[in-house]
Structure 1
Amino acid sequence: MTSPPDVSAGRPVRPSPLGDTFHLYDTTLRDGAQRQGISYSVADKLAAAGLLDQLGVGFIEGGWPGAMPKDTEFFARAAEGELELRSAALVAFGATRKAGVAVADDPQVRALLDSRAPVVTLVAKSDLRHVERALRTTPEENLAMVADTVAHLVAHGRRVFLDCEHFFDGYAFDADYGVRVLDAAVRAGADVGVLCDTNGGMLPFQIETVVREVLARTGFRIGIHCQDDTGCAVANTLAAVHAGATHAQCTANGYGERAGNADLFAVTGSLVTKLDLPVLPEGALVEMMRISHALAELANIAPDDHQAYVGSSVFAHKAGLHASAIKVGPELYNHLDPGLVGNDMHILVTEMAGRASIELKAAELGIDLATHPGVVTAVVQTVKERESQGWSYEAADASFAVLVQRELAAAAAGDGVPVPSPFEIESYRVIVDGEQPVAVAADDGVVLRTDTRAEATVRVRTAGRRVIATAEGNGPVNALDSALRQALSSQFPVLDDVGLVDYKVRILGGNAGTEAVTRVLVTSQRGAAQWTTVGVHPNVIEASWLALVDSLRYAIGAS
């Protein structure tokens, strides 16, 4: 006897921007969480679901209630009002009933209903080999497991999707059994049959061929779920959509086990800008980069600078030839306007830079060089010369700005006239004291700790007077930074709020060991603003000093 619909099924499913003609489905919180190194707390999952809802995806798969205590808690807290979704429907993921168990008696199926999620995605074996060897049941019992579970959930007011696990591999082995699984699910009331490339071994032309064949054989609504083991998950997903799939499952930033899943942002960007499918609410596409990076922070993974559409470097141009064309028309070397996806174009200043690169980069930093051709020439020459010595301005915009301003000042002063500067360095000295190791009690026994302190003294000239300042720090760079700012702060109070937030050292090739040339990148901050400067020298302290001096020059000039 069929049970009556469950009136506690939760909020109604909201239509996607295309009505119900296309589903953009996210599984970051379940499949994406299987990536090595990711461990979401319930609070993380609630925050991530909110971000995905801001993007405007149609469905958010929250996890596997009943199988994972954390996921059970997530759905409970969501149902109790801790997650208010504006456009997405929350989805619970789970398996069909077990072989030989009545669907009403299966605790896993009951947990799916108890989650109160309005949509349930069931996973089922669609490869005959998995049915017989992994499930250890008969093909007919597997079909009954699918049909019984779908019908039971639909009778309780749930909308049901079916993930056909290992579909493509199974289709290559037996082209009929997977279709029978789809048929069992749809006849029982499932809305979508999702074809899963579970092992991630398919290529786009294979995906497209199978999707077309299945659509022709069944007429059912077909979805796609791709892993990235061949590096083709995004291409495979788009190939399936091109073939007629109207439901695409993805994860934020391609998170997932092994090589990952189809990247939600790459798929979405292409669906909207290349296939003209408005799968997001109006105005939401511009939020892609922000949300991608926010989700990366929740996963505790650094954003991928080279990620399609949303990486900070994907609209960066290094070659002078590119910059020359971009100066005429940015669309000549950008496949779309970066602003459409919340990104921006960047001109990188390197040894490859030409005049156009320098002009565009300066303009990006708010410096107009259009009427200063001599300054452009001088900057191009200086950059090329310094790059050959190991300097790099790609990640050091502030040092580039200081260089340009120095050349502008030199041009304004005229030949042979000293370049005006807010301060001049006379000398600096650093002393590092290492004390004898001291035994300190710890939980796992006694450890030796050595307290090392550094003291720096700097001598500078500013506003016509000589200033000497001394400061201590937890290392030579910290001491130098403190001493230099102390010497200049009375003349430039803005420096009181400047602090060192990052410090990177790289040994450059060509020499070995301690005689090698070192490149130092220093990142400083004032309020919400951050900037990076560079210094290069065989002595790491001198390289650090050069970067620190540029940092304070930039801070003074930007104030």
Structure 2
Amino acid sequence: MDSANKILLYDTTLRDGAQREGISLSLEDKIKIARKLDDLGIPFIEGGWPGANPRDVQFFWKLQEEPLKHSELVAFCSTRRPNGVAAQDKMLQAILAAGTRWVTIFGKSWDLHVLEGIQTTLEENLAMIRDTIEYLISQGRRVIYDAEHWFDGYKKNPVYALQTLETALKAGAEWLVFCDTNGGTLPHEISQIVQEVVTALNIIPDDPSSPKLGIHTHNDSGLAVANSLAAVVEGVRMVQGTMNGYGERCGNANLCTVIPNLQLKMGYQCLDESELIQLTQTSRLISEIVNLAPDEHAPFVGRSAFAHKGGIHVSAVAKNPFTYEHIKPEAIGNQRRIVISDQSGLSNVLSKAGHFGIDLNKNDPTCRQILERLKTLESEGYQFEAAEASFELLMREALGQRQELFELKGFRVHCDMLQSVEMSCSNAVATIKVRVDGVELLEVAEGNGPVSALDMALRKALVKFYPEIANFHLIDYKVRILDSGAGTSAKTRVLVESSNGQNHWTTVGVSPNILDASYQAVVEGIEYGLLLKEVPSLAVVQS
């Protein structure tokens, strides 16, 4: 492989990404993420700061016992303390105990931080950089030097900032990484400053004997990805970032955006093709592990990144996807979606029918009937772009393919509010009567709210006829008030996401009565789950 086209990726999700507000990773979480990044083929995975907390110490011990298969695990630490000796610094002893071959050390580039932050002299800061790197190398480690606040420091005092890099190089650092720690630098500034450093240090990008450069950007100005790409154009060959852009404040450079841009747009090699197609799945899995909802509109890996809603768009994409898609979604493991809404045309309906495995011809009058029914329902408050399972049921009903699996004869829900000094809660009891195959059933169930009780009563009745319902469960429930000006009599839209443990699907209900809207969505969720058993190919669509 041509080294001029190779970009080494450095993932810091487990350290910098974990500093995002709202993220708290357990030891098991960190190990799962590290293994997934290893499978993805990320060359460097920064595992954390050994010694900073017991969890990170245990993490490095665990991966000593069961090492990663492909990636280099990296320990992270600062330079030694002022007026000390690296060989006697307990912090550096913890780094050595982590047992990694590579260590990333960050040091101060900005004289403001030296004089006011750590309150030492400029000369002592250079000694801290030199002593720390030389000591780690004497202990058999390879060093990546992160120049903290590099761009701010260079803009204020370029002579001193360059001295910090020269000191790190002479001490034996193999990589010099420019850090835009405050995230305030603009792309044209990144380009200019990297060019000036390349000239000042006589760096020849892609020459194995020349110093190697990296970039580490933050997203406070919304430019972390753009700044990373700008640095690569000027000769940087390592890009540091996080999955999904997680990180402190506004986050770090999002590797899920950086990687496809570098590889599919700019011609650089980051991952093998077989690894690149895992990118979307990796992004979503890590979202699950950190317990944050995935960004549905994220570039490349978002669920809506290749979603088409306007009828003209859908018609054109059906003829040639490149009319409205900048890459093939399959290249990064994503997929095209045709969204159904009141903006739809016949092309949307036909495309969706094909997606569901339904044979429908545009000359069939039913096609026009489905479109008109869709637009009528959406004018009443239904939303099918977020509830594709409900739209498929609507489509099958119009085609005479929707079975009546059960008939509701009536339901009643009773709620009691229990209050005490310590807490308040709502107990609900639902009574429901349904008919299945000519048999009427009356069931009662309790829940921690009216919708929960109603859902449990319905399942309790139906599971006797459809045992697979025992595996169904609600995984999300959303309520939207559609006409807030109507006060308590406002119309309500309810979206229910259901799962059978393998697949998930979303259904919708609309009514001025929130219980009626919830019932509609819950019933269709159960009905669609049963349909998955009858039409296994649908599982691929909804998973």
- In the superposition, the TM-score normalised over structure 2's length comes to 0.90
Aligned to 1:344, the other structure's residue is in SS state: coil
Please say if residues 166 and 197 of structure 1, whose CA atoms lie closer than 8 Å, have aligned partners that are also in contact. yes
Matches within 5 A, 1:361-376: 361-370=352-361, 373-376=364-367
Report how far residue 20 of structure 1 moved. 11
Residue pair 2:186, 2:223 contacting (<8 A) in 1 also: yes
Shift of 1:234: 0.8
Give the structure 2 partner of residue 471 of structure 1.
Answer: 444
- Alpha-carbon distance, 1:107 to partner: 2.1
Distance 1:403 1:66 in 2: 58
Following the alignment from structure 1 to structure 2, what is the Cα–Cα distance between the partners of residues 374 and 525? 34
Instruction: Tell me the residue number matched to 2:207.
Output: none
With over 3 angstroms needed to count, the CA separation of the structure-2 counterparts of 1:505 and 1:174, relative to structure 1, is: same
Aligned to 2:208: none
Deviations 1:96-138 (A, max 9, x none): 2222222222222232222211011111111122222222222
- Give the 3 Å change call, closer, same or farther, for CA 150–493 of structure 1 in structure 2: closer
Counterpart in 2 of 1:38?
A: 23
Q: How far apart are residue 94 of structure 1 and its match?
A: 1.1
Distance, in Å, in 1 between the alignment partners of 2:6 and 2:455 is 59
Report the counterpart of residue 504 of structure 1 in structure 2: 478
* Structure 1 residue 206: Cα displacement: 1.1
CA distance in 2, matches of 1:111, 1:66: 5
**Does residue 1:349 correspond to 2:332, yes or no?**
no
Q: Secondary structure at the match of 2:76?
A: strand
Q: Equivalents in 2 of 1:343, 1:86: separation in Å?
A: 26
Alignment of 1:210-289 (within 5 A): 210-218=193-201, 219=203, 220-289=211-280
Deviation at 1:308, TM superposition (A): 1.8
AA matched with 2:499: Q
Structure 2 Cα separation of the partners of residues 152 and 448 of structure 1: 58
2-side partners of 1:41 and 1:431: how far apart?
Answer: 41
Tell me how far 1:522 sits from its aligned partner. Answer: 2.2
Query: Aligned ranges for residues 142-541 of structure 1 at < 5 Å?
Result: 142-218=125-201, 219=203, 220-370=211-361, 373-409=364-400, 421-423=403-405, 425=407, 427-434=409-416, 437=418, 447=422, 452-460=427-435, 463=437, 465=438, 467-474=440-447, 475-485=449-459, 494-495=468-469, 497-509=471-483, 511-541=485-515
Give the superposition deviation at 1:332: 1.6
Post-superposition offset of 1:486: 5.6
Amino acid at match of 1:35: R
Alpha carbons of structure 1 residues 112 and 529: separation in structure 2 relative to 1, 3 Å: closer
Query: Alpha carbons of 1:149 and 1:548: their partners in 2 closer, same or farther (altered >3 Å)?
Result: closer
Deviation at 1:17, TM superposition (A): 10
Q: Quick one: which amino acid aligns to residue 205 of structure 1?
A: H
2:102 partner letter: V
Q: Would you say the 8 A contact 1:320–1:352 is kept in 2? A: yes
Distance 1:377 1:186, change over 3 A: same
Q: Distance in 2 between matches of 1:483 and 1:134?
A: 63
User: Which among 72, 85, 89 is matched to residue 102 of structure 1?
Assistant: 85
Change in 2 beyond 3 A, CA 1:469/1:273: same
Is the 2:387–2:506 Cα contact (8 Å) retained in structure 1? yes
How many angstroms does 1:546 deviate by?
A: 2.1
8 Å CA contact 1:18, 1:278 repeated in 2: no
Paired letter, 2:74? V
CA contact (8 A) 1:458 1:480 kept: no
Partner letter of residue 46 of structure 1? I
CA distance in 1, matches of 2:196, 2:232: 13
Given that 1:215 and 1:222 are in contact with CA atoms closer than 8 Å, whether structure 2 keeps it comes out as no
Counterpart amino acid of residue 452 in structure 1: N
Which whole-Å CA distance do the structure 2 matches of 1:483 and 1:63 have between them? Answer: 48
Contact map agreement 1:17 1:278 (CA 8 A) in 2: no
Which is worse superposed, 531-540 or 371-380?
371-380
Using the alignment, how far apart are the partners of 1:140 and 1:500 within structure 2? 62
- Rounded to whole Å, the distance in 2 between the matches of 1:381 and 1:222 is 59
CA distance in 1: counterparts of 2:287 and 2:259, whole angstroms: 17
Question: How many Å apart are 1:496 and its aligned residue?
Answer: 5.3
Greater shift in the superposed pair: 295-304 or 178-187:
295-304
Residues 6 and 270, structure 2, Cα contact 8 Å, conserved in 1:
no
1:85 and 1:488 mapped to 2: Cα distance? 48
Letter in 2 for 1:263: N
Does the Cα contact within 8 Å between 2:137 and 2:143 map onto a contact in 1? yes
Match of 2:538 in 1: none
Query: Do the aligned residues in 2 keep the contact of 1:254 with 1:261 (CA within 8 Å)?
Result: yes
Deviates more, 1:57-66 or 1:489-498: 489-498
The alignment status of 1:27 with 2:12, answered yes or no, reads yes
One-letter amino acid of the counterpart of residue 236, structure 1:
N
| Number of aligned residue pairs | 524
The structural deviation recorded for 1:341 is 1.1
**Pair 1:327–1:184, CA change in 2 (3 A):** same
Question: Residue 497 of structure 1: CA displacement?
Answer: 4.6
Q: Which residue of 2 aligns with 1:75?
A: 60
Which amino acid is 1:42 matched to?
L
Give structure 1 stretches of 5+ with no counterpart: 1-15, 411-419, 440-445
Q: Residues 279-310 of structure 1, C-alpha deviation per residue, up to 9 Å, x if partnerless?
A: 12341011111211222222222211122221
What corresponds to 2:537 in structure 1?
none
> CA 1:380/1:231 → structure 2, altered by over 3 Å: closer, same or farther?
same
C-alpha distance in 2, partners of 1:17/1:60? 23
Write out aligned runs for 1:29-68 (5 A): 29-68=14-53
User: Could you tell me which residue of structure 2 aligns to residue 132 of structure 1?
Assistant: 115
C-alpha change, 1:403 and 1:207, in structure 2 (3 Å) is: same
Which residue of structure 1 aligns with residue 517 of structure 2? 543
2: CA distance, partners of 1:476 / 1:213: 66
Superposed CA deviations along residues 238-272 of structure 1, whole A, max 9, x for unmatched, are 11111110111101111111111101211112111
* Closer/same/farther in 2, CA of residues 291 and 428 from structure 1, 3 Å limit: same
- RMSD between aligned residues: 2.5
| Helix, strand or coil at the partner of 2:244 | helix
Question: 2:382·2:493 contact (CA, 8 Å) conserved in 1?
Answer: yes
Letter aligned with residue 473 of structure 1: E
Equivalent position amino acid for 2:301 in 1: V
Give the TM-score, by structure 1 length.
Answer: 0.88
SS at match of 2:277: helix
**Matches of 1:448 and 1:225 in 2, distance apart?**
48
Letter in 2 for 1:291: T
Task: Give CA deviations for 1:17-50 in whole Å, capped at 9, x if unaligned.
Answer: 9699532111111111211122222222222211
Deviates more, 1:288-297 or 1:482-491: 482-491
Partner Cα distance (1:247, 1:438) in 2: 59
- Name the amino acid aligned to 1:52: L
* Mapped contact 2:5–2:267 kept (Cα < 8 A): no
Task: Say which is worse superposed, 141-150 or 478-487, in terms of deviation.
Answer: 478-487
Secondary structure of the residue that 2:480 maps to in structure 1? strand
- 1:509 maps to amino acid: D
Measure the CA separation in 2 of the matches of 1:397 and 1:157: 57
Work out whether residues 163 and 196 of structure 1, in 8 Å CA contact, stay in contact via their aligned partners in 2.
yes
